Protein backbone atom coordinates (compact mmCIF):
# COMPACT_ATOMS: atom_id res chain seq x y z
CA UNK A 1 0.00 0.00 0.00
CA UNK A 2 1.22 3.46 -0.88
CA UNK A 3 -0.03 6.20 1.47
CA UNK A 4 0.48 9.50 -0.28
CA UNK A 5 1.14 12.81 1.40
CA UNK A 6 -1.79 15.19 1.61
CA UNK A 7 0.12 17.60 -0.63
CA UNK A 8 0.43 14.89 -3.31
CA UNK A 9 -3.29 14.12 -3.03
CA UNK A 10 -4.05 17.85 -3.44
CA UNK A 11 -1.88 17.86 -6.57
CA UNK A 12 -3.49 14.76 -8.06
CA UNK A 13 -7.01 16.01 -7.35
CA UNK A 14 -6.27 19.58 -8.47
CA UNK A 15 -7.26 21.13 -5.13
CA UNK A 16 -5.55 23.19 -2.46
CA UNK A 17 -8.14 22.23 0.18
CA UNK A 18 -10.26 19.13 0.69
CA UNK A 19 -12.88 18.82 3.41
CA UNK A 20 -12.62 16.24 6.16
CA UNK A 21 -11.25 15.60 9.60
CA UNK A 22 -7.61 14.59 10.04
CA UNK A 23 -8.68 10.93 10.28
CA UNK A 24 -10.83 11.24 7.14
CA UNK A 25 -8.00 12.91 5.23
CA UNK A 26 -5.62 10.15 6.30
CA UNK A 27 -8.05 7.60 4.85
CA UNK A 28 -8.27 9.66 1.65
CA UNK A 29 -4.46 9.62 1.32
CA UNK A 30 -4.45 5.85 1.72
CA UNK A 31 -7.28 5.34 -0.80
CA UNK A 32 -5.82 7.67 -3.42
CA UNK A 33 -2.49 5.88 -2.97
CA UNK A 34 -4.24 2.56 -3.64
CA UNK A 35 -5.87 4.01 -6.75
CA UNK A 36 -2.50 5.29 -7.99
CA UNK A 37 -0.96 1.85 -7.41
CA UNK A 38 -3.81 0.13 -9.28
CA UNK A 39 -4.47 2.61 -12.09
CA UNK A 40 -1.70 5.20 -12.21
CA UNK A 41 -1.54 8.93 -11.53
CA UNK A 42 -2.98 9.84 -14.92
CA UNK A 43 -6.12 7.82 -14.19
CA UNK A 44 -6.59 9.62 -10.87
CA UNK A 45 -6.17 12.99 -12.58
CA UNK A 46 -8.62 12.03 -15.34
CA UNK A 47 -11.21 10.89 -12.78
CA UNK A 48 -10.62 13.51 -10.10
CA UNK A 49 -13.98 15.23 -10.51
CA UNK A 50 -15.85 12.00 -9.77
CA UNK A 51 -13.45 11.10 -6.96
CA UNK A 52 -14.02 14.50 -5.34
CA UNK A 53 -17.80 14.18 -5.65
CA UNK A 54 -17.66 10.77 -3.99
CA UNK A 55 -15.37 12.13 -1.27
CA UNK A 56 -17.71 15.02 -0.49
CA UNK A 57 -20.55 12.51 -0.12
CA UNK A 58 -18.48 10.33 2.23
CA UNK A 59 -17.60 13.31 4.42
CA UNK A 60 -21.16 14.70 4.43
CA UNK A 61 -22.61 11.32 5.40
CA UNK A 62 -20.02 10.70 8.12
CA UNK A 63 -19.19 7.32 6.63
CA UNK A 64 -15.70 7.29 8.15
CA UNK A 65 -15.82 7.16 11.96
CA UNK A 66 -14.05 10.13 13.48
The answer as to whether 66 is a domain residue is: no
Total domains in the chain come to 1
Mean pLDDT within 16-20: 96
| Structural domain for 34, as ranges | 6-61
pLDDT at site 48: 98
pTM: 0.92
- Is residue 50 one of the residues assigned to a domain? yes
> Is 55 part of a structural domain of the chain?
yes
Residue 13 domain-assigned?
A: yes
The answer on pLDDT for 66 being more than 80 is: no
Which of 59, 35, 54 minimizes the C-alpha distance to 9?
A: 35
Q: Is residue 1 part of a domain?
A: no
13 — phi, psi (to 5°)? -90, 0
User: Does 21 reside within a domain?
Assistant: yes
Q: What is the pLDDT of residue 65?
A: 77
Question: Do 12 and 36 touch, CB atoms closer than 8 A?
Answer: yes
Q: pLDDT digits over 26-63, tens only?
A: 999 999 999 999 999 999 999 999 999 999 999 999 99
Amino acid sequence: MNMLSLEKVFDLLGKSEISGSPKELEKLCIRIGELVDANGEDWVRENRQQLLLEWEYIVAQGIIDN
